[in-house]
Amino acid sequence: MTIKDLEVGVTVASTLIGLCWLGLGPSIEKEQTLRTWASRWLPKCLVIRKREPNSEAIRQLQEYLAEKRKVFTIPLHQIGTPFQRRVWEELLRIPYGETRSYGEIAIKVKNLKGQRAVGMANHRNPIAVIVPCHRVIGKNGNLTGYADGLDIKQRLLELEDKHIGFY
């Protein structure tokens, strides 16, 4: 897929409940990351290469990247610690084209000095883009950290910035 002018691989995984993992970047690397993640969080499950269960997620991601979708409507299966899931739920409340700081998210999840913990939860977000961790920036407006790379984060924010001005 292409994010603005950057060609990236997409690796997705789902359970019967919903999409549980999405990574952007080199497919071989992301598939290994997925397998490591699955062995930790879903140790009794198998990772099977099959496109069909994930075709709707891929379609919606393509629409988003083509600037034809602002809200994802696919079911999610968010797997993580209770704190991580609270952070990810808060990320889902950040509207398209807007950003929040790590500190603002920390306050929303009632961990007033937890900016670093929020940063780690963002880093461990297994459903990138759809759970929009790219919309979290430093309090001074700087781009900081993104598991799939700052170049991807910047392009995702630029993609959304065409429609609504921010930072």
- Could you give the CA distance from residue 104 to residue 58 in angstroms, rounded to a whole number? 30
Number of helical H runs and strand E runs in the chain = 6, 6
Q: Which of 34, 133, 147, 152 is catalytic?
A: 133
Residue 20: active-site member: no
Token pair of 130 as six digits? 């759809």
Counting every residue written for the chain, the total comes to 167
- Could you give the CA distance from residue 106 to residue 2 in angstroms, rounded to a whole number? 32
Q: Phi/psi class of residue 145: alpha, beta or left (left: φ > 0; alpha: ψ in -120 to 50)?
A: left
Token pair of 56 as six digits? 């709707």
Token pair of 40 as six digits? 């930790």
Token pair of 75 as six digits? 């079911």
**Catalytic residue list:** 133
